[in-house]
Amino acid sequence: MGEADRLITILTKDNGLITAYASGVKNIKSKRGSSTGLLCYSDFSLSVKGTTYRVAEATPIKLFFGTNSDVEILGISQYFCELALTFGNSARSTEEFLRLILNSLHFLNQQKKNPYLIKSITELRVMATSGYCPNLIACDNCGKFIDDIMSFDIANGTLLCSECDNGVGRIKINQTIINALRHIVYSPFERLYLFTIPDEDIENLQTVTENYIEYQTDKKFTTLDFLRNIKRGTY
C-alpha cells in the first residue's frame, strides 16, 4: 500500500485471521519491517478504530527461513500460509490451529524430517480441525478395523476393506498409510509429529491428503500447483 505501508494478514491465537495496516514498514531502518513480513511469528499491539486495525507495535519472536532456503521448503511454507488463509477462521480452536501452523513451520525449518511428510501431516490435521474430519476408525461398510490393503474414499472421507470396495474412485492404501492417516487425525497434538514412515510410502500418503483437501474444498491452491511444478522440474 503506497510507498512504505503494508496491509498484512495475521493469524492470531484468539481471533483467527485479522487484517491490519502497518505503516512505515518498508523503510529500511524500520524495526517493524521483519516482524510484519511473511512467515514471521511476532508479538503485535494493534489499535482498532471501527473495523480497521492498525499495527501500533510489532516485535519479531521467530523469523522462519532465510533467503538462502531451499526452494522446495519455501514452496511448502508458502502452501502452509495459503492453508492458514483458507482455514484460519473455520478451525474449532484458533489456538490449536496457530500451534499447528507454527509447529509445521518449525519442523520444516529444522530440516530433520522429510518435508513432504510434514506437508501431509499439516494438510490432514488442518482438515480434521476445520470441519472436514474423515472417519478412519474402520471399514465404513462392515466395520473391519484393518486389512492388508484398504481403500480411501475421498468423496466421503471413509475407509473400505478389500472385500467391501467395488473399486470406483478410491485410492488403495497399505497398512503403513492407514496407520499414518489415523495417527494424523486422532493422536493428541503433543504426539502429532512423533512418527515417521518409509520414504517410498510418502508419495502415496501425499496422494491421499492432497486429493482429499482439493476434493472436499473444491479449491485449487495456487501454492500447491507451484510446488508440483517445482517437483516436476518445470519451474
Q: Which is nearer to Zn ion, 106 or 144 (CB)?
A: 144
Closer Cβ to Zn ion, 8 or 159, answer by number:
159
Query: Under the criterion CB under 5 A, does residue 83 sit at the interface with Zn ion?
Result: no
* CB of residue 140 to Zn ion, shortest distance in Å: 8
Give the C-alpha distances (Å, rounded to integers) separating 87 from 103, 161, 190: 16, 31, 21
Do 149 and 162 meet the contact criterion of CB atoms below 8 Å apart?
yes
Count of residues of this chain found to bind Zn ion when the rule CB under 5 A is applied: 6
Edge-to-edge strand list for the sheet holding 6-12: 6-12, 16-22, 52-63, 40-49
CB of 148 to Zn ion, least distance (A): 13
DSSP 24: S
The DSSP code for 113 is: S
Q: Whose Cβ is closer to Zn ion: residue 161's or residue 202's?
A: 161
For residue 120, the minimal CB distance to Zn ion (Å) is 25
Q: H helices of the chain, where?
A: 32-35, 71-87, 94-110, 115-128, 175-186, 199-217, 222-232
Q: Are 215 and 156 in contact (CB under 8 A)?
A: no
Asked if residue 65 lies in contact with residue 109, where contact means CB atoms within 8 angstroms, the answer is yes
When the beta carbons of 43 and 163 are compared against Zn ion, the nearer one is 163
* Min CB(150)–Zn ion separation in Å: 8
Strand 16-22 relative to strand 52-63: parallel, antiparallel, unpaired?
parallel
Residue with smaller CB distance to Zn ion, 98 or 139: 139
Stretch near Zn ion under the rule CB under 5 A, chosen from 15-23, 143-151, 208-216, 224-232 = 143-151
Binding mask 123-142 for Zn ion (x = CB under 5 A): ----------------x-xx
Site string for Zn ion, 154-173 (x = CB under 5 A): -------x--x---------
Binding site for Zn ion (CB under 5 A): 139, 141-142, 144, 161, 164
